[in-house]
């Protein structure tokens, strides 16, 4: 199977995984043949990627840090909390806490977590995917710190609700397909304090949990918002959710740009470790996350095309791959990129766009600003 952009050229391809809508409603089953109308309908509903069957890699299955059932449970908890807030009613945190417990239980039972691999997929994204991803990443960082269960529960809850203030931001602004004006950006920045107020007053959450909403855009050097906090004046949950939030924002497709090349995201966060981002949280994140998820197609040095077949616990930057095309390739060849440092990864196929060269080249200013919304 293969993760691909949702475009008209997929007409005739077969789905390798089902497609679900918000709340877990089944839209298309595994094995559904994509037609032009289906593709355009999915795009009109905000879907940007699908997983399709490919004969050369039919034995591969993309990694999932949590099950579909747990994801639906979490989406439902967030949706009900949001609906009550918008109706002016105080939500019950019980469902949210139960969803966080389910995420922790699955991550703890996942052997890849203990060996240092958590893969966050960027397909089948919906309203709550970012919040769930930040929750998974934050818990993974806390797990790397050796935190006990109760502390992981608080961290996971803070991370899951870190963007709750955006329920009070106009939807057309959240989905604007282009750069924000100064006035729009100022309004967007208010979501941190709005979220802190909602959690403190409406959900009766602890100060620890509410600090995730308030501080996830603060930066160690004081350049963040809303309070311009520096260093140790930022809470530990603020530091962790900041790292998880930026990583997921940069590696996901946004309304006005494609996902950023993983090496560029890694280089950016390492460059600003202990400057913008907490160094321990950055190191913990990159000891856990798989930059090139299983099923990703890569362009390699020398004109070769490969698909990621598995993660290598020795390095999340150098996975196992299957070379399926290129000079002299008559049949697929399985290779350990960790054992072949001479083989360079050029870029992601399908997910890469020509103007990505600007981002890979090191000019990440637009991306930095974008990740701060």
pLDDT at 140: 94
Q: Residue 29 has which token pair?
A: 């089953």
Tell whether the torsion through CA atoms of 40, 41, 46 and 49 is positive or negative.
negative
Q: Please indicate, yes or no, if residue 364 is contained in any of the structural domains.
A: no
Residue 317 contacts residue 291 (beta carbons within 8 Å): yes
Do residues 104 and 245 share a domain? yes
Do residues 283 and 239 share a domain? yes
Rounding to the nearest 10 degrees, give the CA dihedral for residues 135, 140, 142, 148: 100
Residue 87 contacts residue 98 (beta carbons within 8 Å): no
Give CA–CA dist 27/337, Å, rounded: 38
pLDDT at 296: 80
Do residues 281 and 312 share a domain? no
Structure-token match 């990440």, residue found: 364
Give CA–CA dist 71/99, Å, rounded: 8
Helix, strand, coil percent values for the chain (each to nearest 5): 45, 15, 40
Do residues 252 and 116 share a domain? yes
Q: Please indicate, yes or no, if residue 371 is contained in any of the structural domains.
A: no
| Spacing of C-alpha 373 from chain mean position | 15
Do residues 119 and 224 share a domain? yes
Give CA–CA dist 213/167, Å, rounded: 12
Rounding to the nearest 10 degrees, give the CA dihedral for residues 201, 202, 205, 210: -70
Q: Please indicate, yes or no, if residue 199 is contained in any of the structural domains.
A: yes
| Spacing of C-alpha 71 from chain mean position | 13
Do residues 267 and 337 share a domain? no
Q: Which residue has the higher pLDDT, 261 or 122?
A: 261
Nearest to 145 by CA among 36, 280, 301, 16: 280
Least confident of 226-240, 250-264, 266-280, 335-349: 250-264
Q: Please indicate, yes or no, if residue 362 is contained in any of the structural domains.
A: no
Do residues 204 and 302 share a domain? no
DSSP calls for 186-229: HHHHTHHHHHHHIIIIIS---HHHHHHHHHTT--TBS-SSSS--
Task: Tell whether the model's pLDDT for residue 319 goes beyond 80.
Answer: yes
Give CA–CA dist 332/322, Å, rounded: 6
Residue 215 contacts residue 208 (beta carbons within 8 Å): no
Do residues 223 and 312 share a domain? no
Q: Please indicate, yes or no, if residue 316 is contained in any of the structural domains.
A: yes
Q: Residue 57 has which token pair?
A: 């890699």
Task: Tell whether the model's pLDDT for residue 23 goes beyond 80.
Answer: no
Least confident of 135-139, 155-159, 307-311: 307-311
Domain count, the chain: 3
pLDDT at 125: 55
Do residues 8 and 106 share a domain? no
Task: Please state, in angstroms and as integers, the Cα–Cα distance from residue 53 to each residue in 41, 194, 319, 322, 348, following that order.
Answer: 20, 44, 21, 16, 18
Number of helical (H) and strand (E) elements in the chain, helices listed first: 15, 9
Task: Tell whether the model's pLDDT for residue 26 goes beyond 60.
Answer: yes
Q: Please indicate, yes or no, if residue 370 is contained in any of the structural domains.
A: no
Cβ-based neighbours of 366, under 8 Å, separated by 6 or more = 179
Q: Please indicate, yes or no, if residue 308 is contained in any of the structural domains.
A: yes
Residue 295 contacts residue 53 (beta carbons within 8 Å): no
Do residues 30 and 118 share a domain? no
pLDDT at 346: 86
Residue 317 contacts residue 289 (beta carbons within 8 Å): no
Do residues 77 and 127 share a domain? yes
Residue 136 contacts residue 238 (beta carbons within 8 Å): no
Q: Using 50, 70 and 90 to split pLDDT, how confident is the model at 188?
A: very high
Give CA–CA dist 58/73, Å, rounded: 29
Residue 230 contacts residue 148 (beta carbons within 8 Å): no
CATH number at residue 280: 1.10.3210.10
pLDDT digits (tens, 9 = 90+) for 118-130: 776 545 556 788 9
Q: Which residue has the higher pLDDT, 306 or 117?
A: 306
DSSP state of 271: H
Q: Using 50, 70 and 90 to split pLDDT, how confident is the model at 363?
A: very low
CATH number at residue 13: 3.90.105.10
Percent with pLDDT over 70 in the chain: 84
Domain holding 194, by residue range, is 68-291
Q: Please indicate, yes or no, if residue 126 is contained in any of the structural domains.
A: yes
Do residues 47 and 72 share a domain? no
Q: Using 50, 70 and 90 to split pLDDT, how confident is the model at 238?
A: very high
Give CA–CA dist 281/244, Å, rounded: 9
Q: What is the CA radius of gyration of the chain?
A: 20
pLDDT at 366: 39
Give CA–CA dist 261/291, Å, rounded: 9
Task: Tell whether the model's pLDDT for residue 273 goes beyond 80.
Answer: yes
């Amino acid at each position: 199977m293969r993760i691909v952009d949702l475009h008209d050229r997929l007409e005739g391809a077969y789905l390798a995984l089902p497609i679900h809508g918000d709340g877990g409603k089944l839209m298309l089953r595994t094995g559904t043949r994509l037609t032009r109308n289906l593709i355009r309908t999915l795009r009109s509903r905000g879907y940007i990627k699908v997983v399709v069957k490919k004969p050369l890699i039919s034995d591969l299955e993309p990694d999932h840090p949590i099950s579909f059932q747990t994801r639906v449970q979490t989406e439902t908890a967030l949706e009900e909390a949001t609906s009550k807030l918008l109706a002016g009613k105080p939500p019950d945190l019980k469902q949210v806490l139960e969803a966080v417990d389910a995420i922790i239980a699955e991550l703890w039972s996942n052997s890849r977590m203990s060996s240092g691999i958590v893969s966050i997929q960027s397909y089948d994204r919906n309203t709550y995917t970012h919040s769930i991803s930040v929750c998974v990443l934050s818990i993974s960082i806390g797990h790397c710190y050796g935190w006990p269960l109760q502390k992981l529960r608080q961290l996971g809850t803070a991370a899951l609700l870190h963007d709750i203030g955006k329920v009070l931001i106009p939807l057309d602004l959240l989905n604007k397909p282009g750069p924000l004006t100064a006035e729009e950006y100022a309004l967007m920045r208010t979501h941190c304090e709005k979220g802190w107020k909602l959690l403190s007053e409406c959900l009766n959450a602890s100060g620890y949990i509410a600090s995730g909403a308030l501080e996830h855009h603060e930066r160690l050097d004081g350049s963040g918002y809303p309070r311009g906090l520096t260093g140790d004046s930022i809470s530990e949950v603020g530091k962790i959710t900041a790292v998880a939030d930026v990583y997921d924002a940069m590696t996901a497709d946004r309304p006005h740009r494609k996902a950023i090349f993983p090496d560029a995201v890694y280089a950016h966060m390492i460059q600003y470790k202990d400057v913008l981002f907490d160094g321990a949280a950055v190191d913990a994140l990159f000891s856990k996350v798989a930059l090139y998820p299983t099923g990703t197609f890569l362009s390699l040095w020398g004109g070769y095309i490969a698909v990621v077949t598995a993660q290598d616990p020795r390095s999340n930057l150098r996975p196992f791959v299957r070379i399926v095309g290129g000079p002299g390739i008559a049949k697929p060849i399985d290779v350990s990129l960790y054992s072949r440092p001479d083989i360079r990864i050029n870029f992601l196929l399908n997910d890469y766009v020509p103007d990505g060269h600007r981002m890979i080249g090191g000019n990440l200013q637009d991306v930095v600003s974008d990740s701060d919304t």
